[in-house]
Amino acid sequence: MKTLSRRRFLTASAATLSVAAVPSLLLPARPARADGHKVIAAGKRVIEVKGKAANVFGLTQADGSSGLVMNAGENFRVTLKNLIGEPTVIHWHGLTPPWQQDGVAGISQEPIPDGGSHDYDFPVARAGTFWMHSHFGLQEQLMLAAPLIVRDPAEAGQDMQEVVVLFHDFTFRDPREILAELQTGGHDMGAMAPAPAPATGGHEGHNMPGMAMDGGQMSGMDHGSMNMGGMQMGGQMDGMSHLQDVQYDALLANDRTLDDPEVFPVEPGGRVRLRLINGAASTNMWLDLGKLTGRLIAVDGMPVEPVEGSRFEFAVAQRLDIVLELPKEASAWPVFAVQEGGRMRTGVVLAAKGASVGKLADMADEDFPAVGIELEQRLRAAKPLAEKAATRQHTMMLGEGPNYVWTLDGAMHGQDKPLAVKSGDRFELTFMNHTTMSHPMHLHGHLFQVVAVNGKRFAGAMRDTVLVPANMGMVTIAFDADNAGKWALHCHHLYHMAGGMMTSMAYDD
């Protein structure tokens, strides 16, 4: 992605701060094959983080642009080339393709070998802010991800600048070593914060197989061997939730830290649409607009009734579309993403011509709280599901055990049975979280509506990823079974998924 650094911005003349400085991601991608297929290469690259070189992966087109921009109504005609030196497969997060083109190793396709390629071709009817990322091993931690923006042709005439930002949590460590430490218990579960209020109703009788629930006592699972932040957790839930189990060296915004953030030239008094993607492997964040106030108009690519604010909860794998009406003075406005339960942050800068961009600290002035469901309970879908009674229901138990085992309905991935669904079902799926961490749950191939939180029903947002709070938190989603196949269903915290918190949903017809 072509970028304009803070140092270049400060030394550039007014004439150079033009449309040409906007990152190439925002420009229409050019076909690279005669048959109309765009070619995206999964490859190796080197970035600089805090003055040190870092070897990471990336997804780029031949012109150097990161990811893909297309229009709704077009076909997703992409050839994916694998040049990373090992097998991989890429998932088109938020799109609803035929299941064989969803890009999940072991479920929808075999991994693409190094040097190989794979063609994809399916219609994309819905506009939105989506993204693409590896669905093989721990490659997502190595930044094998990129934006996938589907624009609405009806909005082409709008006088609004578009700014796309992909956030990552970054570590210099090998993610395989991190997982191995987590699984052997030699880890620090990190920051801790009061848990969300436990669910109080609607879950009687939904005990996890092999687990007796008695006032929070979990007799079927030995938590005594789990060391969480220096505190031994017994079977009794103690009202504490654990926010980070992986410690990171930095947070990145479009590959950069705040030592040298990306600077987007903007017009004073202009309108900006932020398309923001939490591509972190395991870090829930807060989106902090600082002195600005924005209107949240879409989540996970789906429109919501606008919500105004300057801070928004932003869980792993979720997206936020925020419209800003910039002040008329020639100034610079940082847009931050801050880790939950801490101060580490990253961001980009929106800067008018002639504005001074000062040094930005990579730590906020105060700790930010845990990301929860306060925003989720305020959101209302602009286009909700049609009114229809549920024809099938299931309560799925989210569990944890010793040696970094994470389960769905008491089973790890590989020992699980697919969740059964039938075409035409209105399915209501309730996630009940028996663990001490929150879980961003992602269903492939479908859009769902959040219809209840902790037993309280409401007509919430349409999404593809929802955060389920720790310590008996419950979230109910509803979706129409309208895309037959076999689909992944998992926690999007990469290490939780690797620890077993993944299953599939299979149509029985």
pLDDT of 243-258, one tens digit each? 999 999 999 999 999 9
Q: Sorting pLDDT into bands at 50, 70 and 90, what band is 240?
A: low
Q: Sorting pLDDT into bands at 50, 70 and 90, what band is 185?
A: confident
Q: Which amino acid makes up residue 190?
A: G
H helical segments located in 235-361: none
Distance (Å, whole) CA 112 – CA 82: 7
Mean pLDDT of 84-95: 98
Classify 7 as helix, strand or coil.
helix
Q: Sorting pLDDT into bands at 50, 70 and 90, what band is 186?
A: low
User: Is the pLDDT confidence value at 20 over 70?
Assistant: no
CB 358 within 8 A of CB 439: no
How much is the pLDDT for 33? 58
| Pairing relationship of beta strands 392-401 and 426-433 according to DSSP bridges | parallel
Percentage of the chain exceeding pLDDT 90: 79
How much is the pLDDT for 509? 74
User: Is the pLDDT confidence value at 235 over 80?
Assistant: no
Sign of CA dihedral 355, 359, 364, 365: negative
Which secondary structure element, helix H or strand E, spans residue 168, and what is its range? strand 161-170
How much is the pLDDT for 241? 72
How much is the pLDDT for 242? 86
> Edge-to-edge strands of the sheet including 68-71?
68-71, 145-151, 128-134, 90-93
Residue 437: C-alpha distances to residues 343, 374, 491 (Å): 19, 17, 11
Which secondary structure element, helix H or strand E, spans residue 182, and what is its range? helix 175-184
Task: Determine whether 218 is exposed, middle or buried from the number of CB atoms within 10 Å of its CB (0-12, 13-18, 19+).
Answer: buried
Pair of tokens at residue 466: 């929802």
Residue with tokens 């979706």: 479
Q: Could you please report the per-residue DSSP string of 211-232? A: --EETTEETTS--TT-EETTEE
User: Is the pLDDT confidence value at 467 over 70?
Assistant: yes
How much is the pLDDT for 157? 84
Residue 62: C-alpha distances to residues 22, 117, 264, 269 (Å): 18, 15, 23, 35
The conformation of residue 157, written as its DSSP 8-state character, comes to: T
Sign of CA dihedral 50, 53, 54, 56: positive
Distance (Å, whole) CA 58 – CA 481: 33
Q: Sorting pLDDT into bands at 50, 70 and 90, what band is 196?
A: very low
Distance (Å, whole) CA 143 – CA 164: 16
Distance (Å, whole) CA 103 – CA 342: 34
Q: Which amino acid makes up residue 235?
A: G
Domain range 31-155, CATH class? mainly beta
pTM over 0.95, yes/no: no
Q: Could you please report the per-residue DSSP string of 245-270? A: SS--SEEEETTB-TTS-BEEE--TT-
User: Is the pLDDT confidence value at 439 over 50?
Assistant: yes
| Residue among 241, 319, 251 nearest 282 (CA) | 251
Distance (Å, whole) CA 238 – CA 471: 9
Between CA 328 and CA 332, with CA 331 as vertex, the angle to 5 degrees is 125
The conformation of residue 386, written as its DSSP 8-state character, comes to: P
Q: Looking at the domain 199-229+376-507, which fold is it? A: Immunoglobulin-like (2.60.40)
Mean pLDDT of 163-172: 98
The residue ranking higher by pLDDT, 370 or 20, is 370
Distance (Å, whole) CA 344 – CA 167: 13
Which secondary structure element, helix H or strand E, spans residue 407, and what is its range? strand 405-408
Q: What is the mean pLDDT of the chain?
A: 86
Instruction: Supply the CATH classification number for the domain 158-189+239-371.
Output: 2.60.40.420
Of 13-22, 122-131, 289-298, 460-469, give the lowest mean pLDDT range: 13-22
How much is the pLDDT for 18? 28
Distance (Å, whole) CA 322 – CA 306: 9
User: Is the pLDDT confidence value at 445 over 70?
Assistant: yes
Distance (Å, whole) CA 367 – CA 378: 23
Percentage of the chain exceeding pLDDT 70: 82
How much is the pLDDT for 34? 53
**Range(s) of the chain covered by CATH 2.60.40.420:** 31-155, 158-189+239-371, 199-229+376-507
Mean pLDDT of 378-389: 97
CB 285 within 8 A of CB 371: yes
| Pairing relationship of beta strands 250-253 and 161-170 according to DSSP bridges | antiparallel
pLDDT in tens, 33-58: 557 889 999 999 999 999 999 999 99
Distance (Å, whole) CA 272 – CA 325: 7
